[in-house]
Amino acid sequence: MRETAYAKINLALHVRGRMPDGYHRIETIFAFAEAGDEIEAAPAGALELAVGGPFAASLAGEEDNLVARAARALSRRFGVGAGVRLTLDKRLPVAAGIGGGSADAAAALRLLSRWWRLDAEEAVLLELARGLGADIAACLGSRPARGEGRGDLLRPFADDRLAGAPVLLVNPGVPLSTAAVFRAWDGVDRGALAGWREGRNDLEPVARRLAPAVADVLDALKGASFARMSGSGATCFGLYASAADRDSAARSIAALRPQWWILATRLRA
């Protein structure tokens, strides 16, 4: 049994202030790509986790990653005694602003709910997701949503321009710590989020300082109809009028920057 951990995209991200618990109060529009990491479940006597794929090395030595924590949390909540072997095919770069770890944890919750035949209510899974991390609640549904609070207070979001839109994700191979980027935010509230096109990513200036390659990626995406950095970076995305335009841009960028990670996909409805 398999589940996709869909790549998360922040179409806009406004940071409104710091909260007493150390998190930041944000307003964001989440969208999700059709592609991402993959998790497979198989029978086992205990909870086991194996990691493979192009970015497996980035998780080497990580004894307690979010997938394992999500599995244990679900098992405790429902009193599951059965084991399971989870295999994570790590296809998305780590510390990249596209919710890799959060998407993996959310996918593990969805997968194990089916694997263990729990018939878990969405509210219960959301409670578990919020206890594991700020973005995991949005990643659980992996559908367009407006997020507030830590990003885990969600409302459905619909825009006919987004469903199935060709999108290109580009990362320059520079990991960016989410915590470090938020710490370096200047603390200025630049106003509420209205529409995603009219919005901004308040973390982009910080990310550009910490990883100047972000500016290079955005410059490479200048042919897109819309381009912006996602999350805390360094991944940026471009929306295109057609798959042909997207694929042409992907080929051009790959030829000029063969060391960059590039994913050509579409947005989920």
Q: What's the CA gap between 156 and 247, in Å, rounded?
A: 30
Active-site residue flag, 159: no
Helix (H) or strand (E) holding 125: helix 122-132
Q: What's the CA gap between 151 and 222, in Å, rounded?
A: 28
Active-site residue flag, 135: yes
Q: What's the CA gap between 106 and 87, in Å, rounded?
A: 15
Q: How many CA atoms lie within 13 A of 268 on its CB side?
A: 20
CA angle 66, 72, 75 (to 5 degrees): 140
Active-site hit among 135, 152, 202, 216: 135
Given a contact cutoff of 8 angstroms between Cβ atoms, the answer to whether 167 and 236 are in contact is: no
Active-site hit among 8, 90, 152, 216: 8
Residue 46 burial (10 A CB sphere; 0-12, 13-18, 19+): exposed
Both tokens of 86, joined, read 């989870």
Q: For tokens 């244990």, name the residue.
A: 72
DSSP 46: S
Point out the residues that are catalytic. Answer: 8, 135
